A and B are shown apart, each in its own frame.
Chain A
């Protein structure tokens, strides 16, 4: 069964460094999403992407975040200058009718 994949599974970085989180959505899906979940908190929407552009973003998705679909399969989330509070699980999801989530990347900012 097709599934969303994400790499890496765990990323440790120093505060102020840039990180890129990678996702491969399900191949026939057209809508892609990033969510995050801080430990013990709700899953929060960051951004949605359709037809090679951002279709929606939350107030969390500020100028330090960007998304890109660099080729026909990958979908990336870049955090330009990480902060301690960016430590969270980051989930990619893709959608045809329903959203299916990848396994997540645990980001730890030291």
Chain B
């Protein structure tokens, strides 16, 4: 079964530190990768998308993709208490398939 895997956490980091969130996926044909943030009781909020190998930076966020290793990560620099949330990795698992397959999410706690 095609899956997206994440450590559930919680990942606890001090304010100002770098938080590193990881995700692996099972389908080599996957083309599109997304990170969503979800606060408790709220809907997923898109943070980053990444489509090609390497790094993509947007403000304090950097997404990293390694298709050979089937691995995607999200780095959050200068973590703030407001970053405390669950971070969901989502993948379009098959070429042409538009539905997203989500991981179970990693809960991040940023300690003031």
What residues of chain A have their CB less than 8 Å away from a CB belonging to chain B?
31, 33, 35, 41-45, 48, 55-56, 58, 89, 91, 95, 97-104
Tally B residues with Cβ within 8 Å of A. 19
What residues of chain B have their CB less than 8 Å away from a CB belonging to chain A?
34, 36, 42-46, 49, 88, 90, 97-105
List 19 other contacts, CB 8 Å, given A35-B100, A42-B105. A31-B98, A42-B103, A42-B104, A43-B44, A43-B88, A43-B102, A44-B102, A45-B100, A48-B98, A56-B99, A58-B99, A95-B98, A99-B34, A99-B100, A100-B46, A101-B36, A101-B44, A101-B46, A103-B42
Give A101 to B34 CA distance when docked, in angstroms: 13
Q: Are B43 and A103 in contact, with the CB atoms below 8 A?
A: yes
**Interchain pairs with CB closer than 8 A, number:** 48
The main secondary structure of chain A at its interface with chain B is: strand
Give A44 to B44 CA distance when docked, in angstroms: 12
For this complex, 20 residue pairs linking A to B, each with C-beta atoms less than 8 Å apart, are A31-B98, A33-B99, A41-B104, A43-B44, A43-B102, A44-B102, A45-B101, A48-B98, A48-B99, A55-B98, A56-B97, A89-B43, A95-B98, A98-B46, A99-B34, A99-B46, A100-B46, A101-B36, A102-B43, A104-B43
